[in-house]
Amino acid sequence: MEAIAGLVHVEESSPLDVQPRNAPQVEIQSAPEGKAVFGGGLIRKRKLPPQLDARPERAEVQPPPARLVTVPVFGGPLGGTNYITPIFVGRTQANSFTTPRPNPNFAQITEIRSDVFSKYHALVLQANRRLTNGLQFQTNYTLSRAQDNGQSSVTFTSNNLPFNAFDQGAEDGLSAFDRRHKFVASVVYNTDFKAFKDNGFGRAIFNDWTIAPILNAFSGARVTQSISGTINPAAYGFTGNAAQITALCGSLGNPAATASCTTPGGGANGSGGSSRFAGLPRNAFKQPNIWYVDMRLSRRFRITEGTRLEILGEAFNLFNRTQVTTVTSTFYNYASNTTTPACPGGLTQCLIFNDAGNAPFLNVTGADSTLFRERQIQFAARFEF
């Protein structure tokens, strides 16, 4: 028998050494009315590439602070707080985000760059026993933490991936690949009872069996809380230029309601980027844990001295446990004084906790995949000669 312990540290970063800033935290328990929940930072710091300057200087990008708006939050763990978020408005606004925009013929302008870091730390423990007296087992446990500042894997380019393109450090959080705990144990046991050495009937019934179970148990996948709906600039005093809106948006209707026309990309803050609820770090929640047992049971029959027949059965997900693979990630919904449910007090826009309807927050929406399926059983026979 042997026991093994090890520590693993893996860190990857791009040539640009980005200085991450921890995502803002919020105290959920007993949040006092009017407390601010910060939904996006304004300062991004990074070193310049070494090949451009032998002595790197810090570079700061700070959008105008007037572009922060306050959204009242109702219901859920953050009810009674104020969600403060940057808002990005388009060229149809009289007080647009930039005057003029770099190219007024486009909404978002995508910049592809490598400024994402990822870190992985792990403690690995193993306990193994070689096949002795018919018993063998292998076990291992991994305690790990995966962290990055917005790593993504997409086949094609996206318009905008961060919540706030001016603050990459605010994306710092647990990775989508973070699985905090993982335990795997496998056992092989062959029956060969010496007590039946001289008992032919006992040997025929109890000997030559093999049982081999495998247990897999690990933490559920991470979930990033999101906002459903589009921020409405008119609710925060960005009325826009009606003539420009009509010329650009045609028959979209009331200029005050055409948020997709009055912002560069719509979505949670108008940028068309991530729709996450930025008052909490990325991947602040997780799906239910996953565990399942696979097992093989076989019996060998000696026909002659040199031939034998083995009959075996195998079960996958033996206990037919439902494995949750997808849940609803919508944490809060943008609402107005005309939606159902509506904002209290006639507010033009607010955030309401997603706890009603057919898809409340963390509601299970998927329970199978190519890796985790319902119980499956198969039988086989093997002839050795």
Identify the burial level of 176 via C-beta atoms within 10 angstroms of its C-beta, where 0-12 means exposed, 13-18 middle and 19 or more buried. Answer: middle
Please state, in angstroms and rounded to a whole number, the distance separating the CA atoms of residues 148 and 78. 25
Confidence at residue 128, expressed as pLDDT on a 0 to 100 scale = 96
Please state, in angstroms and rounded to a whole number, the distance separating the CA atoms of residues 293 and 287. 19
Pick 331 or 42 by higher pLDDT.
331
How many helical (H) and strand (E) elements, i.e. helices and strands, does the chain have?
A: 3, 22
Q: Is residue 30 part of a domain?
A: yes
Q: Is residue 103 part of a domain?
A: yes
pLDDT one-digit tens code per residue, 53-71: 333 343 444 444 347 899 9
User: Phi first, then psi: what are they for 308, rounded to 5°?
Assistant: -155, 155
- Give start and end residues of each alpha helix (H) in 44-113: none
pLDDT at 372 over 50: yes
Closest CA to 270 of 40, 111, 56: 40
- Give start and end residues of each alpha helix (H) in 112-236: 200-206
Confidence at residue 178, expressed as pLDDT on a 0 to 100 scale = 95
230 near 259, Cβ under 8 Å? yes
The DSSP line for 216-274 is EEEPPPEE--EEES---GGGGT----HHHHHHHHTTS--GGG-HHHHSSSBSSSSBSS-
Percent of the chain with pLDDT strictly greater than 70: 71
Q: Is residue 240 part of a domain?
A: yes
Residue with tokens 């037919």: 320
Pick 26 or 142 by higher pLDDT.
142
Domain residues for the domain of 13 are: 2-119+146-180+219-285+333-354
281 near 254, Cβ under 8 Å? no
pLDDT one-digit tens code per residue, 121-135: 999 999 999 999 999
Q: Which helix (H) or strand (E) holds 152?
A: none
Q: Is residue 197 part of a domain?
A: no
318 near 377, Cβ under 8 Å? no
Please state, in angstroms and rounded to a whole number, the distance separating the CA atoms of residues 111 and 91. 20
Q: Is residue 236 part of a domain?
A: yes
Confidence at residue 248, expressed as pLDDT on a 0 to 100 scale = 58
Tokens at residue 108, please?
A: 């978002």
Residue with tokens 């792990």: 122
Indicate the SS3 state at residue 171: helix
Q: Is residue 323 part of a domain?
A: no
Q: Is residue 152 part of a domain?
A: yes
Tokens at residue 143, please?
A: 């305690």
Q: Which residues pair with 85 in a beta bridge?
A: 69
Q: Is residue 363 part of a domain?
A: no
Confidence at residue 334, expressed as pLDDT on a 0 to 100 scale = 95
Note the pTM of the prediction, 2 decimals: 0.74
- Number of domains within the chain: 1
Tokens at residue 101, please?
A: 């925009």
pLDDT one-digit tens code per residue, 243-297: 666 665 654 455 444 555 677 777 898 888 899 999 999 999 999 999 999 999 9
Please state, in angstroms and rounded to a whole number, the distance separating the CA atoms of residues 277 and 268. 8
370 near 316, Cβ under 8 Å? no
User: Which residues have a Cβ under 8 Å from the Cβ of 46 and sit 6 or more positions away?
Assistant: 16, 17, 18, 19, 58, 59, 115, 168
Residue with tokens 């709906």: 229
